[in-house]
Amino acid sequence: MFDFEKLDVYVKSKTYNKSITTFLLSKKLDRVTNDQLRRASFSIMLNIAEGSGRFTKPDKKHFYVIARGSVFECVAIFDYLNDINSIDDKTYRQYYEILEEISKMLYALIKGLVK
């Protein structure tokens, strides 16, 4: 088993990414928004995995910070989709809460590497 597979934040981000795949299959979003959400969602879990494989704390931190940036990107996309009424408030809130939790988990990982 690889180290990243043991991280709760990785497992949660993988579950989130699978739900995004289902979400995108059920929605008729424009190509750019669809692609951006898919890529940003995938980026979260991939950067967590890549960061866990780095040997130094600064290298690990760098990838976890990028993963957290992708979380923010996903939140912004959902905010936009909610504003243009492409999703309902319940769906927005559901994804917002998941992303908020992933963000907090990544923040804790990042802060743990600063010490």
Q: Tens digit of pLDDT for each residue in 53-110? A: 999 999 999 999 999 999 999 999 999 999 999 999 999 999 999 999 999 999 999 9
pLDDT for res 33 = 97
CATH number of the CATH domain containing 12? 1.20.1440.60
DSSP string spanning the chain?
--GGGG-HHHHHHHHHHHHHHHHHHH----HHHHHHHHHHHHHHHHHHHHHHT-SSHHHHHHHHHHHHHHHHHHHHHHHHHHHTTSS-HHHHHHHHHHHHHHHHHHHHHHHHHH-
Counted domains in the chain = 1
Q: Is the pTM of this model over 0.75?
A: yes
Domain containing residue 48: 3-25+32-114
Instruction: Summarize the confidence of residues 43-62 as an average pLDDT.
Output: 97
